[in-house]
């Protein structure tokens, strides 16, 4: 399988040093190990991506400040907290550290890592144990935060812990997702439409990539056998049993999404199921049905008086609309 990896076999240590530096009001440490090997994302000979570095980056409050909690962000590739000018990942350490939060990024180094392999979850769990021990972080008030695919990874790790598989057993308090695809039945059908319509090179590539990864790892399609896709999803509208919501119902949860009926749901061949809004909305609705009184959906949209843009707003930009200071205040209120 493309993402089922023998970590010992493919990993070579190029360097294993802990780098650290200080910025105003916080300390930053990082440790990464370079891997060798390639991941296939298509059936072509050239359809490969090299593995990257695995490890972590952590931003800590300034010396002497009590650490009250941790924001955990699960990535595939390493983050560079020294350069935020074009950061493709969540940036929240500037708001979180002064309020007593550590911000921990864990990267597996596997491109487009959807956590098909339990080895990724085991690696995250191992790093959690090491980092919390080394930096004396309290095992409480842990908030998982994920935009786009990292939101899916957050759900998979929480599920891993709730199924009794974690050796670290983190005391997770909350979950925040921004525009995350988590219903992989819906996402599979969206990808088929992306390939069929070929409206853009990006959409065509993404549709083929996701279809290939799921075919290689689940060995079936939702048309033939919907079960594995529901099992892999943190939430699916098509799950008639709805057993997953109970895994998260004791958490404080926020989901952010961008839903604009003026164009996102009516232009360029894109409908409501071609966005992540159904996943975010459906997940929160099922949390409320399961009895979670601390689950909320925040929906962004354009100003009706603004001129209608002919281009669809990229879903990856939803995180840029989040009031990060207010989000950290929300986490502070939810602390134990």
Percent of the chain with pLDDT over 90: 75
Do 107 and 211 share a domain, yes or no? no
- Residue whose structure tokens are 């039945």: 185
Q: Which of 110, 138, 166 delimits the end of a domain?
A: 138
Residue 166 has a CB neighbour count (10 Å cut-off) of: 19
Q: How many domains does the chain have?
A: 2
Q: Mean pLDDT, the chain, as a whole number? A: 89
- Coil, helix or strand at residue 76: coil
Do 116 and 204 share a domain, yes or no? no
pLDDT tens-place string over residues 56-78: 999 999 988 999 999 999 999 99
Q: What is the CA radius of gyration of the chain?
A: 20
| Residue 260 located in a structural domain | no
Q: Which of 196, 217, 232 delimits the end of a domain?
A: 232
| Residue 247 located in a structural domain | no
| Residue 263 located in a structural domain | no
Does the CA dihedral 91-280-316-113 come out positive or negative? positive
Do 21 and 118 share a domain, yes or no? yes
Phi/psi at 304 (nearest 5 deg)?
-55, -25
| Residue 293 located in a structural domain | no
| Residue 83 located in a structural domain | yes
Do 11 and 128 share a domain, yes or no? yes
Do 119 and 208 share a domain, yes or no? no
The pLDDT of residue 231 is: 98
The pLDDT of residue 184 is: 98
Do 188 and 132 share a domain, yes or no? no
Nearest-angstrom CA–CA distance, 207 and 191: 4
Please list the residues that pair with 50 across neighbouring strands.
38
The pLDDT of residue 257 is: 95
What pTM was computed for the model? 0.90
Output the 3-class SS for 175-190.
Answer: EEEECCCCCHHHHHHH
| Residue 118 located in a structural domain | yes
Residue span of the structural domain in which 40 resides: 7-138
Q: Are residues 97 and 63 in contact, defined by beta-carbon separation less than 8 angstroms?
A: no
The pLDDT of residue 301 is: 84
| Residue 191 located in a structural domain | yes
| Residue 19 located in a structural domain | yes
The token pair that represents 175 in the structure block: 């979950």
Among 63, 80, 39, 233, residue whose Cα is nearest residue 151: 233
């Amino acid at each position: 399988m493309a993402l089922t990896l023998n970590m010992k076999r493919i990993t070579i240590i190029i360097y294993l040093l802990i780098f650290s530096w200080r910025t105003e009001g916080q300390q930053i440490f990082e440790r990464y190990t370079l891997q060798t090997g390639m991941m296939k994302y298509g059936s072509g000979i050239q359809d490969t991506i090299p593995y990257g570095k695995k490890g972590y980056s952590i931003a800590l409050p300034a010396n002497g400040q009590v650490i009250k909690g941790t924001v955990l962000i699960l990535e595939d590739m390493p983050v560079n907290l020294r350069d935020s000018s074009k950061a493709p990942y969540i940036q929240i350490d500037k708001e979180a550290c002064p309020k007593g939060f550590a911000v921990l990024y864990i990267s597996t180094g596997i491109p487009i890592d959807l956590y098909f392999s339990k080895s990724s979850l085991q690696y995250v769990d191992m790093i959690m144990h090491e980092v919390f021990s080394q930096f004396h972080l309290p095992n409480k008030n842990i908030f998982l935060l994920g935009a786009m695919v990292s939101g899916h990874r957050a759900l998979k790790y929480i599920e891993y812990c709730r199924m009794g598989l974690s050796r670290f057993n983190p005391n997770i308090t909350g979950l925040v997702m921004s525009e995350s695809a988590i219903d992989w039945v819906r996402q599979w059908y969206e990808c088929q439409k992306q390939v069929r319509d070929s409206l853009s090179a990006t959409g065509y590539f993404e549709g083929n990539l996701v279809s290939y990864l799921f075919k290689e790892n689940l060995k079936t399609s939702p048309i033939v056998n919907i079960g594995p896709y529901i099992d892999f999803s943190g939430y699916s509208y098509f799950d008639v049993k709805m057993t997953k919501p109970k895994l998260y119902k004791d958490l404080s949860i926020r989901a952010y999404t961008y839903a604009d009926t003026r164009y996102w749901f009516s232009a360029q061949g894109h409908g409501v199921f071609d966005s992540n809004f159904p996943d975010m909305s459906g997940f929160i609705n099922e949390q409320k049905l399961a009895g979670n009184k601390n689950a909320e959906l925040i929906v962004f949209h354009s100003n009706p008086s603004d001129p209608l843009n002919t281009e669809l707003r990229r879903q990856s930009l939803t995180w840029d609309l989040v009031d990060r200071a207010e989000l950290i205040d929300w986490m502070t209120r939810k602390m134990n």
